[in-house]
Amino acid sequence: MKTLDHAERADIFNEDEKRVDWHDETLWWIRQKRDKSAHQIPEWEDLRETASAIKSNTLSNLHDYLLEFEKNALQNGVIIHWAADAKEHNEIVYRLLKEKGIDKMVKSKSMLTEECHLNEYLEHQGIEVIDSDLGERIVQLAKEPPSHIVLPCIHKKKEEIGELFHEHLGTPKGNADPQLLTEAARVHLRDTFLTRKAALTGVNFAVAETGEIVICTNEGNADMGAHLADIHIACMGIEKIIPKREHLSVFLRLLARSATGQPITTYSSHFAKPRDGKELHIILVDNGRTRQLGREEFRNSLKCIRCGACMNTCPVYRRSGGHSYHNAIAGPIGAILAPNLDMKQYADLPFASTLCGSCSNVCPVKIDIHDQLYKWRQVLVKEGYTTTAKQVAMKTMATTLSSPALYKLAGKAARTTLKYAPFMVNNKFNAWYLQRDMPKVPQSSFGEWYKINRKKNEQ
Amino acid sequence: MNSRDQILAAVKANQPELTPLPQLDSFFKGQETALIEKFTQVLNGIGGKVIVVANTNEIISLLKENYSLDQIRVISPLASMQEIANNNIDNHNPHALENVELAILPAHFAVAENGACWLDESILLDRVLPFITQHLILIVNKVNVLPTMHHAYEKIGNEQYGYGAFIAGPSKTADIEQSLVLGAHGARSLWVFLV
């Protein structure tokens, strides 16, 4: 079965125009909150520059930092695991649960486990997983993936959530009051926290110098899960390392302001040692990250701290929705990370952009996102992963542009066609025309105009 | 070769030439004004409440006014709070804290720029207490309101804690249509007393 590409999925999302407008405006509102928050910090640009430089240093010395982190974490009594890929990561989690005879687990947000499809894997093995972040719980009940890395159910209307909660949590039918629905989730998940023996969390930052990990939430769900469980499993990509504890100051100042405009998340929890008598496991996952590290043009994508600012600002993301990216991480950053995982499957994503550069302008670690989107396009065309139509069009264009005679002829032909036979291009076979009007026809080309006007001027 | 060695070898082979770490010194300059006002404004803005008091007696009488203290479970490690709270908990059974209504905890310091307070394991009785309690009270010495997160980590230094957290406001979510709701999974309210 052919999977739908970004444009096809965006078409489906755009069938409901009112919903697209609402989605667009909601995300833009969050972008504006980010601006307001950033503008209150005079040294904001220095912070971005510094964060980017810290991440550059991290990537350039990652081997030693990983060893340092491992050594310090082990000294703290943490158990460290290494996973080469998603499969090995999932198997480690399952083995840890199985060894303890645990068949129910509570989980807080982790985009890495989305990337590894952990929930599906564990459910297949007979393990029940309950997501505890409210937005993630909502999409889990709806049997959907998150559509945004920070705001998992940003695509859902409250009436739909009310309906889901009525069905699964027994809230009154037709009630879509966010306060009431949140309270229902609080009661339901409190019982989950109190009865689960295993908790899985993501990791925002891992400090090489101290061996500690930092987890940021607003709800307090990571802490509720981890502190009440016998075993806490924290999963992280190897790029989550930062060199020193003092560097947390830079990243914690940037993260929440960039994400939602908050000055900091409600909780920034530092886990260094397990509780007395309990276990803390950290799984360090590669899953393509070392390959991306070796791609000079794309390695900066590993600096990402998962704030979602590039999605909130992206005109394409806002109007196509997170699900159209068919990848755990949507938006501009997802579009430069995904082709590293599978060029064929994600060849469409770097084209889901206008290259306007807004993503790069808001990125707190100054990733050159739009440049990388452009560079991925070149790689994907060269490697033959784009559609034949796109390749033929590109080749024809290259030939035409490199020959003055062909260029003049093509220009003339286009003007004649648009003037006398517009139906030849204004039809459904022209992908360009589907969402746009063709340009008005000029009387002549610039070359022709210049020839006449220069003569006039010389006279 | 096991996965660990394989990953480390691949990192070593693919990491670029070493680049220098930046200095953070410049972020400490020019940040020292009206810290209590700033902290109060920011924490109020994110759903918390800041109350400046002269002494702990004032805290006790304010809590008596606002909570039916004899009807709810109140936990605090502070000797000065034992009139209205107790510190008798079983660390081997954090689940038994599920009925705590009010927790009164000291915080090491507060941060003006974001309304956060820092608590490490040495003063919070049990890691889950500030989260599982329905309402949270933090007490901070007025002189310990720091300007920014840079000052915060300078103060934490090389402290060897097992666990520590910045707490900024009550637990909250805006996952349903971006409507802000206080009291997601952690404390429903947060008051910070500056003494």
Question: Per residue in B107-148, pLDDT tens?
Answer: 999 999 999 999 999 999 999 999 999 999 999 999 999 999
Check A270 against B173: CB less than 8 A apart.
no
Of A29, A60, A186, the CB nearest to B18: A60
**Separation between Cα atoms, residue B125 and residue A227, nearest integer Å:** 13
Return the HEC string of chain B. Answer: CCHHHHHHHHHHHHCCCCCCCCCCHHHHCCCCCCHHHHHHHHHHHCCCEEEECCCHHHHHHHHHHHCCCCCCEEECCCHHHCCCCECCCCCCCHHHHHHEEEEEEECCEEECCCCEEEEEHHHCCCCCHHHHCCEEEEEECHHHEECCHHHHHHHHCCCCCCEEEEECCCCEECCCCCCCEECCCCCCEEEEEEC
pLDDT at site A449: 84
CB neighbourhood size of A72 (10 A): 17
B69 CA to chain A: closest CA distance, Å?
A: 23
pLDDT at site A1: 46
Kindly give the residue spans of alpha helices, DSSP state H, lying in A242-284: 248-259
pLDDT along chain A (459 residues), means of 10: 82 94 97 98 97 98 98 98 98 98 96 97 97 97 96 96 96 96 96 95 98 98 97 98 98 98 98 97 98 98 98 98 96 97 95 97 98 96 84 77 81 78 71 69 82 78
> pTM value?
0.92
pLDDT at site A147: 97
**Separation between Cα atoms, residue A379 and residue A190, nearest integer Å:** 49
> For domain A53-287, which architecture applies?
3-Layer(aba) Sandwich (3.40)
- Residue range(s) occupied by CATH 3.40.50.10420 in chain A: 53-287
DSSP H or E run through A236:
strand A231-237
List the single residue in A with minimal CA-CA distance to B10: A290
Residue B194 has pLDDT above 60, yes or no: yes
Residue pairs between chains A and B whose CB atoms are closer than 8 Å:
244
3-class SS of residue A153: coil
The residues facing B193 across adjacent strands are B51, B139
Check A286 against B169: CB less than 8 A apart.
no
List the single residue in B with minimal CA-CA distance to A139: B175
CB neighbourhood size of A121 (10 A): 19
pLDDT > 90: percent of chain B = 95
Whose CA is closest to A314, among A260, A286, A354?
Answer: A354
B8 CB within 8 Å of a chain A CB: yes
Structure tokens at B169: 């406001």
Question: Per residue in B45-65, pLDDT tens?
Answer: 999 999 999 999 999 999 999
Check B24 against A50: CB less than 8 A apart.
yes
Whose CA is closest to A230, among A130, A112, A137, A101?
Answer: A101
Check B174 against A260: CB less than 8 A apart.
yes
Instruction: Determine whether B68 is exposed, middle or buried from the number of CB atoms within 10 Å of its CB (0-12, 13-18, 19+).
Output: exposed
Of A61, A76, A134, the CB nearest to B18: A61
pLDDT at site B32: 76
Check A224 against B160: CB less than 8 A apart.
no
- For chain B, what is the mean pLDDT? 96
Whose CA is closest to B142, among B106, B105, B195?
Answer: B195
A179 CB within 8 Å of a chain B CB: yes
DSSP H or E run through A130:
strand A128-131
Structure tokens at A387: 């559609």
B25 CB within 8 Å of a chain A CB: no
Task: Please answer whether residues A317 and A369 qualify as being in contact, where contact means their C-beta atoms are separated by less than 8 angstroms.
Answer: no
Q: Which residues of A touch B12 (CB under 8 A)?
A: 63
Q: Are strands B145-146 and B135-140 parallel, antiparallel or unpaired?
A: unpaired
B190 CA to chain A: closest CA distance, Å?
A: 11
DSSP H or E run through A22:
helix A17-39
Please, how many CA atoms are within 13 Å of residue B164, restricted to the half-sphere of its CB? 24
Q: Which residues of B touch A49 (CB under 8 A)?
A: 22
Of B21, B115, B127, the CB nearest to A227: B127
CB neighbourhood size of A411 (10 A): 17
**Separation between Cα atoms, residue B158 and residue A138, nearest integer Å:** 40
**Separation between Cα atoms, residue B46 and residue B30, nearest integer Å:** 25
**Separation between Cα atoms, residue A207 and residue B165, nearest integer Å:** 15
- Residue range(s) occupied by CATH 1.10.1060 in chain A: 1-40+297-386
pLDDT at site A417: 77
Q: Which residues of A touch B117 (CB under 8 A)?
A: none
List the single residue in A with minimal CA-CA distance to B20: A57
Check A266 against B170: CB less than 8 A apart.
yes
C-alpha torsion angle, residues A33, A37, A38, A44 (rounded to 10): -160
A25 CB within 8 Å of a chain B CB: no
Question: Per residue in A244-257, pLDDT tens?
Answer: 999 999 999 999 99
> For domain A1-40+297-386, which architecture applies?
Orthogonal Bundle (1.10)
Check A271 against B163: CB less than 8 A apart.
yes
Q: Which residues of A touch B176 (CB under 8 A)?
A: 134, 138, 153, 158, 161, 178, 181-182
Whole-angstrom CA distances from A358 to A202, A369, A424 are: 28, 9, 35
Q: Which of A107, A264, A265, A340 to mutate to test the interface with B (most CBs of B within 10 A)?
A: A264
List the single residue in B with minimal CA-CA distance to A221: B185
pLDDT at site A399: 79
- b (16+ CB within 10 A) / e for A270-295: bbbbbbeebbbbbbbbbbbbbebbeb
pLDDT at site A434: 64
Of A41, A220, A294, the CB nearest to B185: A220
**Separation between Cα atoms, residue A8 and residue A324, nearest integer Å:** 8
* Residue A26, amino acid: T
| B 152-181 → A contacts, CB under 8 A | 152-154, 156, 158, 160-179, 181
User: Which structural domains are found in chain B, ordered by start?
Assistant: 33-85+97-194 (3.40.50.10420)
What DSSP assignment string belongs to A53-68?
Answer: HHHHHHHHTHHHHHHH
Instruction: Determine whether B180 is exposed, middle or buried from the number of CB atoms within 10 Å of its CB (0-12, 13-18, 19+).
Output: middle
ipTM greater than 0.95: yes
B60 CA to chain A: closest CA distance, Å?
A: 26
